[in-house]
Structure formats: C-alpha cells, structure tokens
Amino acid sequence: MVKLCDIKENETVTTKKNHPCGSNLWTVLSKGAEFKLQCRGCGRTIVIASETLKKSIKNIAGADSSAHKG
Ligand SMILES: [Zn+2]
C-alpha cells in the first residue's frame, strides 16, 4: 500500500478509480489531514480526506516537471 508520507506536493498520483472524465492521474496541490488534488484530465480540483485517499490511491507516478514552470 502507498504511504501518504511518501507523497509530496506537486507530485502526480494515480487512483484505482477513474474520474468521470476518464483520467486517473492527479496532481497533489496540498497535503495534510485532507489532500487537495487536481485532475490531469479535466483540471478539476477535489478535496479528499487522507484516509479515503489512502484506500483509493494506486501509486505515485512521481514529480511533474512539466507543470508549474516559472
Ligand atoms: Zn477529471
């Protein structure tokens, strides 16, 4: 199981369940008791409790070097 402490801000994670837009790639915007994630498919942001995220996360895809330039 993925450890939430391994997830860093601006990293990309994948979830077991796809977002309605079809993507399961998410950028981590902020972390804490609740995580804020942005869907890479449609750009929507969600807030999810860390306990819920722990169950639904598939893996950590790594840091996204293409985003947040500048
Ligand atoms: Zn989406």
1-51 pLDDT tens trace: 788 889 999 999 999 999 999 999 999 999 999 999 999 999 999 999 999
Give distance in angstroms: CA of 30 to centre of ligand 1. 18
Q: Which of 48, 1, 42 is nearest to 29 (CA)?
A: 48
How confident is residue 69, by pLDDT bands cut at 50, 70 and 90? very low
Q: Is 34 helix (H, G, I), strand (E, B) or coil?
A: strand
Q: Specify the higher pLDDT residue, 11 or 70.
A: 11
Give distance in angstroms: CA of 48 to centre of ligand 1. 14
Question: What does the domain layout of the chain look like in residue ranges?
Answer: 4-63
Whole-number Å distance between alpha carbons of 27 and 15:
11
Kindly report the pTM of this predicted structure: 0.84
- The pLDDT value recorded for residue 64 is 60
Tokens describing residue 19: 């977002």
Within 10 angstroms of residue 36's Cβ, the number of other Cβ atoms is 16
- The pLDDT value recorded for residue 67 is 53
Give distance in angstroms: CA of 3 to centre of ligand 1. 23
Whole-number Å distance between alpha carbons of 62 and 70:
19
Is there a contact between 63 and 13 (Cβ–Cβ < 8 Å)? no
